[in-house]
Amino acid sequence: MDAIETYRGFINTWECDENNHLNVRFYFQRFEIAATHLFAISGITWDPDWVMSRHVRYLKECHGDQMLVGRSFRPSTFPDAVAHMLYDAETGDVVATALDTLGPSAEKALFLAKIPLAEPDKTVGPRGVKGGQDTEERTGSTLVDGGHIVIDRTVVTGAHVGADNRFHAYHMVGRVSDGVSHSWAHAGFTGQWLNANNYGRVAVEINLSIFERPLIGRPVHVVSGIRSVSRSVIGFRHILVDTLSDRVYAIANNVGVIMDLEKRKAVRVPDDIQALAESRVIIG
């Protein structure tokens, strides 16, 4: 594949989570770096607000002390997007991919940038989660009244923002990651049950849609709803909300599985937990 190298780095152990693998937010961080370098190679300053949605698929587990390389290109099947592929630097295996759907404000930059065009393989783009930018006209309070639950509360600090004082996309995913255990528990997958079976909760695909980025000092919270349930996969919709104004900043749709932490494989959902999760699915 004709693509530009846009990332090269290393996984620190502090970036790994309770399942002893790279936390989902740090894949997003590396894809943001890749996007920045992709345009910088053409002499164009990357604007994170060009991204309407970033669709990430997690293909292989990554661990501490692992070297990664990223390559980026314009996918021929997605004309208003750029794609990024993250590889294990030693084996060459693809470990994750991202598809950045860009808005109209990026049109000139895409025209000027000398980005190679390539046919993407099947790992790039949506599979278990709908692609493109999601929409939400309801407020956070209305979502909670309709059955969503609050899973995270925080205040945007200097550690969350860039030079423009706006929330980094990967920290938005971090707010979801830090709160998603509440979503899983609401679906019946409690910490007690997981620990008793040596299981973990794992995301396999996330589509992040960003409408606005909160500034430093803003109190924000995440509300979450169960969208789909099957014998092996559960889908969630997480919404980042401004606590003061109640408006929606971003939406993260994701699907995840329960993983056997010894075998490192997904397991089937027990009938009783599946029934509980299905009873809490939110329609609309």
Q: How far apart are CA 56 and CA 68, in angstroms?
A: 16
Tell me how crowded residue 225 is: count the other CB atoms within 10 A of its CB: 22
Q: What's the CATH number of domain 130-284, 3.40.50.11270, 1.10.150.20, 3.10.129.10, 3.40.50.300?
A: 3.10.129.10
| 117: exposed, middle or buried (Cβ count in 10 Å: 0-12, 13-18, 19+) | exposed
What pLDDT score was predicted for residue 1?
A: 59
Answer whether 1-125 and 130-284 agree in fold: yes
The third-level CATH classification (topology) of the domain covering 1-125 is Thiol Ester Dehydrase; Chain A (3.10.129)
What's the gap between Cα 57 and its chain centre? 8
268 with 26: CB under 8 angstroms?
no
What pLDDT score was predicted for residue 162?
A: 87
Tell me how crowded residue 143 is: count the other CB atoms within 10 A of its CB: 22
Q: How far apart are CA 251 and CA 140, in angstroms?
A: 11
Long-range residue pairs from 87-94, CB within 8 A, at least 24 positions apart, any chain: 88/60, 88/62, 89/8, 93/60, 94/59, 94/60, 94/123
Q: How far apart are CA 227 and CA 170, in angstroms?
A: 23
What pLDDT score was predicted for residue 274?
A: 96
Question: In the chain, which stretches have pLDDT less than 50?
Answer: none
> Domain residue spans in the chain?
1-125, 130-284
Q: Tell which residue, 284, 211, 282, has the closest CA to residue 245.
A: 211
